[in-house]
Structure 1
């Protein structure tokens, strides 16, 4: 039996057309800065990024009367619009059946450690509103006949709080939010890359951006100044940081820009790595039903010989197949799941194959091969949790492609759209970097350490060591809304600054322009391609999911040396578009040093393996085993419990990074609001804490 879904429905959920942007507003004038005639735009708030989180902040502020504009490097080209998985997840409070316990949900969100307890509760409490408002805007989340939202289990989720519109959930979120932003008349400035935060008197004064298509003789770098007393950073994560990455190409984020403005970052040691198709083709996460269909996984060497490498990892065919299945809801690599023949032993085995120069494939026309000497694969020989899931899904077809077609035909259709027919050919994949759990440090209203600057979405470091799958989409919606509420309450974004505003920040703007010019040096021995190759290779090889303390320290020394060279020699460029990339790679090199500084500090303090990374150590107490015996090269340190109760804060002080620890913010579950007592704080706006800075 297969799901009989009309082609028109499959098309609508995979080919998601985005709205046409409105005509762009003209600049209000220009200001001479050195050799540049810089156009000036004035708004109450600038949102950097046109993904789901940034659009939510813009829409909510626009609804509240704020004068807000959106800057986008490439509208509909970021992670929200271009990434996903088999049935991309939105993680919200479960409204089906008996509802949910928000305290329990908050505990699940922060269970991995190194996360603020109040943030976790905010995400839990705000999730119902986020889901309902998306449905109101037209997001087609699935329901049962009585109106309950359909749910399933996802990563780090034992309750089943996940829901999905299919593989394009976040793109559909972007579409409905973009349509609302356009309806509200919010201006968009596309092909506009923010490169420097302009500050004045200890607070933000606007954003210096580069617009290559606007470059001319009077403005050779295509500079533009967006004057605003409030800026929301929502440009996503540092997707270009790793060579082995499942991010769409061109995702740089804003961590380097934040560092240069003196803003604090947090939890840069925490990322996510997992299996996905390679970036050179169509990058996509292979979680959920892709692996729950139980495809055959194998590698091919340079001579074209196949290797059934998982057969040497697990003791029985049943154990092998069941752990392939568990990658569906244990998708991210986790060091502890390498132990006791767990599901992350699959990730480690794939990592070892690629390190050996072999290419790894997933074949949906073949069932898993038997472990040598054991019984062949059979749906009748699976662990209880696996058998129960497949039975409930009625996925008893003879082949993986049959089971996948039964459980999720959209998963097949998606790859077909990108000229990959997984019904006929194997799918090449690897272990890739997928998400930065750390980022810009924010408080409970998404405020950063620089007055007037907020951060939402993956730009914000609100996640801890682990998070339930889909919690990031929810967090962006919740904190995008909270940022807008706080900005509206402050009154700072109601109107744009007056024409005299440029004079008050002229020196700061000139400094920002000089900083950009200092990066761009004709004749420099450094170029964009070289800096990119060096940064990505170092991060993938020395700060990926398998780490060695000495390699981290060596990588940090190399990163410092590269940044010293960039400061001294700059980066060459041939044209305005490459000038933008040169500045972005200068900032990415800075972000790389920040990550390695945090990792090195963590490891030198005895930090162990958790979440994204295994910290390998010959004296480590944790030893993964394979069917062939112990894997001594991957013996690792376990996590120290005290490190889960704190977070590492990183700040750029001049040219050096300061790394310090702070305890997680606490949340008192026993505290109870009382309506008559607490209502006046909401009525008067005291809940926003506007006087506490």
Structure 2
């Protein structure tokens, strides 16, 4: 049984996705006071964009050991087996908790959950809600429960930095404005506010804004990772950035879920030939990094033109019946496709890879503690060890729920014990060669995004990484003191970009999502070998 903390224990949670909301709700259940801070409105987090679903062992003929094995194989031998065991073992309970909160996962005529298959899973254990609106359904249920609670919610609040006193985190410094930044409207300069706390939880998501092509919302600027680095917390594995293979190549970067390929959609080149089997025996259902690089390679062969995702054979019958099936099975994707003037019931649609998910982040133990006492991290901002070098499809929502619950419980335990322990870890700063000298173009966020896309994207080498390091170093030297939210964001992106490039230079072998054209690949475990991990 978890000890009960003093009612005055105050936890500040920064971020409002599945991980942050789960932490907040669990801490509240234990009697903590909770302030949840979010950069935009409460409902605007990466979670709501998750189409693919949530993985978990929810069927009698599936096994926890198989989910563990699949996750370890996808992680290319660099996952933490203990963290993976926690994820797969506790996942079903967290999914049932979501059901109790009102998440209506899709069910068949018999009342049982509908099974979904995604790449690198050996069993169709993916649950969806509303076809391809799983993240939205989860976000709505968790937000509704939080709004009905006694938690304080601060919207349009940007995390400037962590407050560190006496060797531990004591609160957060915020920039609180009247509205959030958008692509069309920069954030207004807000008021500074310091919020004291006994525990601070980073749940700020990833850093997709580092790249020219990204599936992430514009708020994903690496704020939590940058703040943790400035405070001295351990950060690891930033070189492992997953690129989603299939994003619409028309209009903005709209993700086409892996579940579409799980249903049987195929990838074809400009001549209509399936090419994914050239790269891997699992074809379109190979690990994401393999499929993404196969697409990028094929695009290079086609002078940069996109490849195509062909869903025209997913339903027998005429195109009208197929269109009805696609609209029913993938309503969000179907709407986005048709808004762009495409008819995927009748013709393949153009797709391209895009930055999707950061596997590294702030180093944590199995309950979310970082190397700084009083600081916890959950969700994409955290490096739990689950994902290793490559995230298994639909494990991200599960990770947020499982480790969010664990962190919320741990805060209560740590408060009740009167101490705020932190796991020990060495500095995560990788040793690299000095950046080359030279000149750099004027800094803009678009210039940074193009630099990382070209030099630290799907395929990397020392020449490109060295060039990126040089340019970023000069941009950081020239950076102005931030005065508005957008400038704080740009500084955070530069901090994270610098560390990502350094980590990519330090890891000289190719493994998982980190692929260097000038370095050999590590031998990755087979499914049989992973069982023994």
TM-score by length of 1: 0.63
Match of 1:265 in 2: 235
Distance 1:52 1:69, change over 3 A: same
1:416 to 325, 335, 346: 335
C-alpha distance in structure 1 between counterparts of 2:295 and 2:175, whole Å: 43
Match of 2:445 in 1: 532
1:599 to 504, 509, 515: 504
C-alpha distance in structure 2 between counterparts of 1:266 and 1:279, whole Å: 34
C-alpha distance in structure 2 between counterparts of 1:192 and 1:279, whole Å: 33
Match of 2:352 in 1: 430
Distance 1:131 1:641, change over 3 A: closer
1:71 to 37, 57, 64: 37
Residues 478-507 of structure 1: per-residue CA shift (max 9 Å, x gap): 00000011101122699xxxxxxxxxxxxx
Q: How does 1:495-574 map to 2 (within 5 A)?
A: 530-566=443-479, 569-570=480-481
Match of 1:468 in 2: 392
Give yes or no for the alignment of 1:490 onto 2:414: yes
Q: Contact 2:169–2:374 (CA<8 Å) still a contact in 1?
A: yes
2:167 to 202, 207, 213: 202
2:47 to 66, 77, 80: 80
Give yes or no for the alignment of 1:639 onto 2:522: yes
Q: How does 1:54-453 map to 2 (within 5 A)?
A: 54-75=20-41, 76-81=43-48, 83-85=49-51, 88-93=52-57, 95-100=58-63, 102-111=64-73, 112-144=76-108, 148-165=112-129, 166-213=131-178, 221-253=190-222, 254-273=224-243, 274-277=245-248, 281=252, 283-289=254-260, 292=263, 294=265, 297=268, 307-308=270-271, 311=273, 326-327=283-284, 329-330=285-286, 332-334=288-290, 345-350=294-299, 352-353=301-302, 356-358=303-305, 362=309, 395-397=315-317, 403=322, 405-406=324-325, 409-412=328-331, 414-416=333-335, 419-423=339-343, 427-453=349-375
Residues 513-570 of structure 1: per-residue CA shift (max 9 Å, x gap): xxxxxxxxxxxxx99x93312321111001111112221122122222222222xx44
Alpha-carbon deviation of 1:420? 3.2
Structure 1: state its 5+ residue gaps: 1-41, 299-306, 338-342, 368-378, 380-389, 495-525, 574-578, 621-636, 643-665, 670-693
C-alpha distance in structure 1 between counterparts of 2:228 and 2:504, whole Å: 19
Alpha-carbon deviation of 1:468? 2.2
Residues 183-210 of structure 1: per-residue CA shift (max 9 Å, x gap): 2221110001111001000100100011
Distance 1:123 1:291, change over 3 A: closer
Q: Helix, strand or coil: the match of 1:288?
A: helix
Give yes or no for the alignment of 1:46 onto 2:12: yes
C-alpha distance in structure 2 between counterparts of 1:151 and 1:311, whole Å: 29
Larger RCO, structures 1/2 (Cα 8 Å, 6+ apart): 2
Q: Contact 2:38–2:156 (CA<8 Å) still a contact in 1?
A: yes
Matched residues, number: 483
Structure 2: state its 5+ residue gaps: 1-7, 181-187, 419-439
CA RMSD of aligned residues (A): 3.5
Match of 2:184 in 1: none
Alpha-carbon deviation of 1:438? 1.0
TM-score by length of 2: 0.81
Distance 1:140 1:638, change over 3 A: same
Residues 581-606 of structure 1: per-residue CA shift (max 9 Å, x gap): 10111011010010011110001xxx
Q: Contact 1:230–1:453 (CA<8 Å) still a contact in 2?
A: yes
Alpha-carbon deviation of 1:456? 0.6
C-alpha distance in structure 1 between counterparts of 2:253 and 2:44, whole Å: 14
Alpha-carbon deviation of 1:214? 8.9
Larger radius of gyration: 1
Match of 1:590 in 2: 495
